[in-house]
Amino acid sequence: MAKQARQWRAGSAGIAALCLTLSACGGAKVGDSSAGADSGSGKCGNFNLAVNPWVGYEADAAVVGYVAEHELGCKVVKKDLKAEIGWQGFETGQVDAILENWGHEDLEKKYITQQKTAVSLGQTGNKGIIGWYIPPWLAKKYPDITNWKNLNKYASKFKTSESGGKGQLLDGDPSYQTNDEALAKNLKLDFKVVYAGSETALIQAFRDAEQNKKWVIGYFYEPQWFFSEVPLVHVELPKHTPGCDAEPAKVACDYPVFDLDKIVSTRFAKSGSPAYDLVKNFRWTNDDQNTVAKYIALDKMSPEAAAKKWVEANPDKVKAWIG
């Protein structure tokens, strides 16, 4: 999801490049001294795990990291990184694995096909859905609003001080994968994209909108634990068809359903680390991820405690991952 729970802030491409050199933009340094898995030894050593800025990914990393540490004896080093910065870390060996890739064809082409510094390790089992959502009260009171063709009729209701006289279309972290500015323009919708800044802020905006009957429409996604608290309603955009989003500036269709996958560095794939097999075998469902994410985000458990609780309740799944 990243280009798409904590307060994370995105920078420009130039800042991102600087962040790679100097720091991980709010997390561990990408260029720090911690090496990757011990090459060819079969021992785990350090396992450098990128953590992207949404709680679903944090749930992935919590569980995989817990199993790697407690079952395989790895020293897990988690690094809070935006998506592209994590991919840049593959070449240096400072990032071993990204556990949830949301269809970044540009990054796959650059790092897998061209540079050959990364490889895909297959699907996570999670289905990723991105779209525009509104609070339930709004869909119930104005049922035609769930069709994009009717949005301009209500645009003035969504105006805010930040939307410049247009309706506000609320997005999350600016690093998330989004076509929303192009969609608003190409569908001739009287809306302006405004960034909440983080997943946490986006969730709070939807929660407040439902509780206080406010007009909010925004970018959201599944898997996501928040649907169990507020069952947001998906707004229908023009149906996605193969190739309809090939040119980002001309996108006028909904997002595809993403089969989320795992990406690891080429050197990690050749290392002989047992953590490689763990990542390769790691597979769970949207419900699994939402359960752990809810422990972290709503129940305020630490990622370690959340992972421990889930692992102890799902020994057969964990056994399949470690063989």
**Model pLDDT for residues 55-83, shown as the tens digit of each residue:** 999 999 999 999 999 999 999 999 999 87
Which one, of 231, 227, 12, lies nearest residue 3 by Cα?
A: 12
CATH architecture of 13-126+260-322: 3-Layer(aba) Sandwich (3.40)
Q: Do domains 13-126+260-322 and 128-257 have the same CATH topology?
A: yes
DSSP 242-294: TTTTSSGGG--SPPPEEEEEEEEEHHHHTS--HHHHHHHH----HHHHHHHHH
More confident call, 193 vs 53 = 193
Query: In this predicted model, what pLDDT tens digit does every residue of 142-172 receive, in sequence order?
Result: 999 999 999 999 999 999 999 999 999 999 9
Q: Residue 36 to residues 48, 80, 241, 270, 285: CA-CA distances in angstroms?
A: 6, 16, 40, 11, 28
- For 298, the token pair is 């709503």
**pLDDT bucket at 276, cuts 50 / 70 / 90:** very high
- Tell me the β-bridge partners of 78: 49
Element containing residue 287 per DSSP (H, E) = helix 286-297
List pLDDT tens digits, range 88-142: 999 999 999 999 999 888 899 999 999 999 999 999 999 999 999 999 999 999 9
Q: What is the pLDDT of residue 40?
A: 40
Q: Where are the domains of the chain?
A: 13-126+260-322, 128-257
How confident is the model at residue 74, as a pLDDT? 96
Residue 38 has pLDDT above 70, yes or no: no
159, exposed or middle or buried, with CB in 10 Å at 0-12, 13-18, 19+? middle
pTM of the entire predicted model: 0.80
Residue 5 has pLDDT above 60, yes or no: no
Q: 3-state DSSP call for residue 319? A: helix
Please provide the DSSP assignment of 138-206 as one string.
Answer: HHHH-GGGGBGGGHHHHGGGGB-TTTTTSEEEEE--TTB---HHHHHHHTT-SEEEEE-SSHHHHHHHH
Q: Domain 128-257 is in which class?
A: alpha beta
Q: Which residues share a beta bridge with 2?
A: 176
Beta carbons of 81 and 50 less than 8 angstroms apart: yes
List pLDDT tens digits, range 11-29. Answer: 333 333 334 333 333 344 3
Q: Which residue do the tokens 């919590």 mark?
A: 62
Cβ–Cβ < 8 Å for 100, 51 = no
The DSSP symbol for 299 reads: S
